[in-house]
Amino acid sequence: MILKRKLSLETKKGLWGWVFIAPWIFGFLFLFAIPLFQSLQYSFSQLSLNPDGIYLNFLGFDNYINALSQHVEYNRTLVEALLDMVINVPLIVIFSLFVAVLLNQKFKGRMIARAIFFLPVILASGVIANIESGDFLQSAMQSQANTETGLQSFQLTRLLIEAGMNQVLVDYLTGAVDRIYEMVSASGVQIIIFLAGLQAIPPYLYEASKIEGATGYEAFWKITFPMISPLILTNVIYSVIDSFTSNNMTTLIQETAFSQFNFGLSAAMSWIYFVLISIILIITTYFISKKVFYQT
């Protein structure tokens, strides 16, 4: 009789982990790996079409030099994308955590409130976003909302400056008010992730804290925040990637490739952008992971 070896719990978790990421691995190998290699090849070449097919003329690093030192809009657009990321990501993560904590409370109509906060994600999706961008009435309403928000932020700026707050902090806070539409539209997925984490916290931790006389403020910073810190790292990474996927930089790269038909320059722009995003993600993950609490 052959004795079957029982797998440990950690081994089973590892196997299930491979099962969950298997679709991504197969998708990367069969759908994404070849175009990725071709894009890298195009970035070092000048692509031209002839009756025989595609012809590549090797240029070395000329496309990269052109993008960084000769192109009129690339550097400016790249800096704007970085600044938007630095401003938006902390605001989105803080806002989504705040909303998730509120939606995790027990009150009537909680499911409707959760659906309302996730609605901007649906409205920002492909087809509906195109309809929204082509709707004149919607554009007029959004323009009016931006005007009213601008007036309110101006009043908030004057109030905070009179209160003696630092000008840099005032500009950041008023910028958050002006970006409220972007924050709500980009925080739906993060809210759901935080909600899942909040619901996974064992209730006995809060019961023990109440017995010890802890306040709600102390329970949040001593229990809630450490327990969902891994999800904070997840949402920061997601928000950073999401902020770089649809902006003026991606539009510039697409226009360079499909309007100007300069596929080599477009590929070089994409790879510079990709390397920069990777560096930011590595640095962000390194510093935040040091503060993450993992329950054992």
Residue 123: per-residue pLDDT: 62
Residue 137 lies in a domain: no
Residue 257: per-residue pLDDT: 86
Residue 237 lies in a domain: yes
Residue 120: per-residue pLDDT: 64
Start-to-end Cα distance in the chain: 37
Question: Looking at the 3D structure of the chain, how many domains does it have?
Answer: 1
What number of other Cβ atoms are within 10 A of residue 28's Cβ?
A: 12
Residues 48-95 have pLDDT tens digits of 777 777 778 888 899 999 988 888 889 999 888 888 888 888 888 988
Assign residue 118 the CATH number of its domain: 1.10.3720.10
How far is residue 149's CA from residue 247's CA, in Å, rounded to a whole number? 22
Residue 199 reports pLDDT greater than 80:
yes
Residue 25 lies in a domain: no
Q: Helices 33-43 and 263-289 sit at what angle, rounded to 10 degrees?
A: 120
Provide CB contacts within 8 A for 42, sequence distance 6+.
Answer: 56, 263, 264, 267
Residue 269: per-residue pLDDT: 92
Residue 11 lies in a domain: no
Residue 121 lies in a domain: yes
Q: Helices 74-103 and 167-178 sit at what angle, rounded to 10 degrees?
A: 80
Q: What is the mean pLDDT of residues 183-198?
A: 85
Range of 91's domain? 41-130+152-290
Residue 220 lies in a domain: yes
How far is residue 285's CA from residue 277's CA, in Å, rounded to a whole number? 12
Counting residues of the chain whose pLDDT is more than 90, the rounded percentage is: 12
Residues 214-260 have pLDDT tens digits of 888 888 888 889 899 889 999 999 999 888 887 888 889 888 888 88
Tokens 């309302």 -> residue: 116
Residue 12 lies in a domain: no
Residue 18 lies in a domain: no
Question: What pTM value is reported for the model?
Answer: 0.75
Q: Share the mean pLDDT of the chain.
A: 79
